[in-house]
Chain A
Amino acid sequence: MYEHSKQGAVDVITGDEPLNLDAVDRVSRLLEDCIGRGQPRIVLDFGGVALIDSAGLELLLDARQRCGQRGGRLQLAALSPLCHDILDVTGLASEFETFDDVLSAVGSFAR
């Protein structure tokens, strides 16, 4: 299940299930809501996400691009070692800013 919350002016999307084809639609809708409201500042909390599949990666890339088009940013927080490896192997690790925890990711928007 993926849930949206706000920390200050930052949208935080927290998940506790794999970011795969089944979850992509729900996460996409949450992201859509965040991107549509002003300049997007989004943190995806991967603390409870065990796996990202190709559909999830595609969603992340698409969301990152759409945030960039509106001058915003999409940050990834609390990635598990496996999710880190998936991003590394697919060459996407350099495409995203990653943080150890949600607080640091949210704090990055205040700098």
Chain B
Amino acid sequence: MFRSTRPISVTRRLIEQYFMFGLACLFFCVAVCVVLAWRGSLTSLVPAAVVLPLAILLVGGLVLRRSLGLVATIEEQLGRIAAVSSPVEHDLRPIAASDPLADGWNALLERFAGQASLGDLEARLSRALGGFHEQRFEQVFNTLSDGVAVTDAAGVIRFGNRSLAAVLRLPGGESVEGRDLYELLEREGSPDGCGERLRRQSGPAPMSIPCGPNLEDGVLRVSRAPLAGDGAEAGTLVWTVRDVTQQKLADEMRSQFVFTATHELRTPLANIRAYAETLSLEEGIDVEKQKEFCNIINAEATRLGRFVDELLNISQMEAGALTLARHETDVERLLSEVIEHVQPQMRQKGMDFEPLLPPKLPKLQIDKDKVAAALVNLLGNAVKYTPDGGRVRLQVEASLEHVSFHVEDSGYGIAPDELPHVFDQFFRSGDARVRQTTGSGLGLAFTREVARLHGGRVGVHSELNKGSKFTMTLPVR
């Protein structure tokens, strides 16, 4: 078995050597005295025999003390280095002596001090750069518009940027750190327990999470990935949470457009084709029937033309190219033209039409054709979505500043949740009674744009199964 032995120090070795040297001197003295005593001349040479060895010992002691002083100092300092755990926590002092050993020790200390200060500088630089990088990364993450989170395996947020709190609709200033991301996603109102589903799943799991029953309530796109790299704790996940509500709404609008366009173009075309084929192929159709078929073809062609016009208007709106050609317009005359336009449909449905116009109406600087089209849209909708025998009222109010056109009906009305969307392009009500009637969902969007371009506005009040009241207000300029 290996047994460690404590090494004999340099000082001790020198003292032992000095002790042996002293003993040798004493032995030499005793031997000289014995020889002198045997020859009989001891008495005369006693002082020399005693003084000489003592003088040698004294000189040797002084030389040894001088040599040992340096070595002892170095040994003491080295002992202190060995005692402390950290190499920087020592107190090494240079030796003030002119000796190769002292010079060597001092040079060594200088180099050591240089290395220590270099190490200290490196440590400070590293700390400063580390802080700088950390700060930069935080700034970068906080600038991102997507919510970014780092969670542990249980979903507890260790880091979350500013956008994350906003995307999760937390009040301003509320911290997300330390909170359960799955719970926050659940709290968002996802109807089918998306947070819990995410918790159970593994893998990146990109998922769209609705924030409520309606698309307008918000949709979040959530994805995650395990944190990669050296020192990454197992189970740590990096999340991105993006609010994709507007993109989803745009997608839905595109789908709605395709559906509406397909329906509105196909249906009249199919009817026109069917009646045209009947007219051309069948023989012996009486004149009355032929006339009826021609009227149907004409009506369907008109419907097709109207839809194309509406599409053109909307495309102009989208391109910002819908412009006004303002002229001084007699409102009374304008209204009589509008009423003339919708009256046949009213008569056909046996409706009670009540125009309430003030005795004197101002002249307006407006684009007559566009305002007429907007009013026809409002009155046309009132006729379309009111059952046969219902009531439609057109009331006009004029002040010094505004002229308001109120179109009120006793129709199906609009559900409260659909009311904010009636002016959206391609919006069609989910009401089965409304669905039965053809419509592009573009008329009200156009009407609102026309009002806006004139510096006016359109509003609506409605009660389901009782009726609706649309108001278009235009400024008097």
Contacts and interface: CB of A to CB of B under 8 A. Distances in A.
Interface of A: 6-10, 16, 35-41, 47-48, 68-73, 100-101, 103-104, 106-107, 109-111
Contacts of A10: 246
Contacts, number: 69
A37 B320 contact: no
Given A39-B166, A70-B163, A101 B455 contact: no
Contacts of B171: 36
B247 interface: yes
Contacts of A103: 317-318, 320
12 contacts: A8-B249, A9-B243, A39-B166, A39-B167, A40-B166, A71-B144, A71-B161, A71-B167, A72-B166, A73-B145, A101-B320, A110-B249
Given A48-B455, A101-B320, A103-B317, A8 B163 contact: no
B246 A109 contact: yes
A110 B420 contact: no
B169 to A, nearest CB: 4
Q: Is the interface of B mostly helix, strand, loop or mixed?
A: helix
B243 A38 contact: yes
Given A8-B216, A9-B216, A110-B249, A70 B320 contact: no
Nearest to A16: B455
A72 B145 contact: yes
Given A16-B455, A38-B218, A38-B243, A70 B166 contact: yes
A103 B424 CA distance: 12
Contacts of A109: 246
B155 interface: no
A9 B162 contact: no
Interface of B: 142-147, 161-163, 165-167, 169, 171-172, 216, 218, 243, 245-247, 249-250, 317-318, 320, 420, 424, 452, 455
Give me the 6 closest cross-chain CB pairs, A-B, nearest first: A71-B163, A70-B166, A9-B245, A110-B250, A71-B145, A8-B249
A22 to B, nearest CB: 19
B188 to A, nearest CB: 10
Contacts of A71: 144-147, 161-163, 166-167
Contacts of A40: 166
Given A71-B146, A101-B320, A39 B243 contact: yes
A37 B169 contact: yes
Contacts of A41: 246
A70 B172 contact: yes
Contact of B162 (A69, A100, A110): A69
Given A38-B218, A103-B320, 9 more contacts: A7-B424, A9-B243, A68-B143, A69-B142, A70-B162, A71-B145, A71-B162, A71-B167, A109-B246
Nearest to B250: A110
B474 to A, nearest CB: 13
Nearest to B453: A47
A38 B317 contact: no
A7 B420 CA distance: 9
B167 to A, nearest CB: 5
A16 B457 CA distance: 12
A38 B147 CA distance: 11
Nearest to B163: A71
A36 B146 CA distance: 17
A101 B321 CA distance: 10
Contacts of B246: 8-10, 41, 106, 109-110
Nearest to B247: A110
A67 B46 CA distance: 110
A15 to B, nearest CB: 12
Contacts of B143: 68
Nearest to A37: B169
A74 to B, nearest CB: 12
Contacts of A104: 320
A43 to B, nearest CB: 11
B172 A38 contact: no
A39 B163 contact: yes
A109 B317 CA distance: 18
A110 B172 CA distance: 24
B320 A9 contact: no
A111 B247 CA distance: 7
A110 B243 CA distance: 10
Contacts of B250: 8, 107, 110
Contacts of A37: 169
Contacts of A6: 216, 420
Nearest to B172: A36
Nearest to B320: A101
Nearest to B243: A39
Interface centre among B161, B166, B424 (most CB of A within 10 A): B166
B454 to A, nearest CB: 11
Contacts of A69: 142, 162
Interface centre among B146, B163, B171, B317 (most CB of A within 10 A): B163
A36 B161 CA distance: 17
Contacts of B455: 16, 48
Contacts of B166: 38-40, 70-72
Nearest to A78: B320
Contacts of B163: 39, 70-71
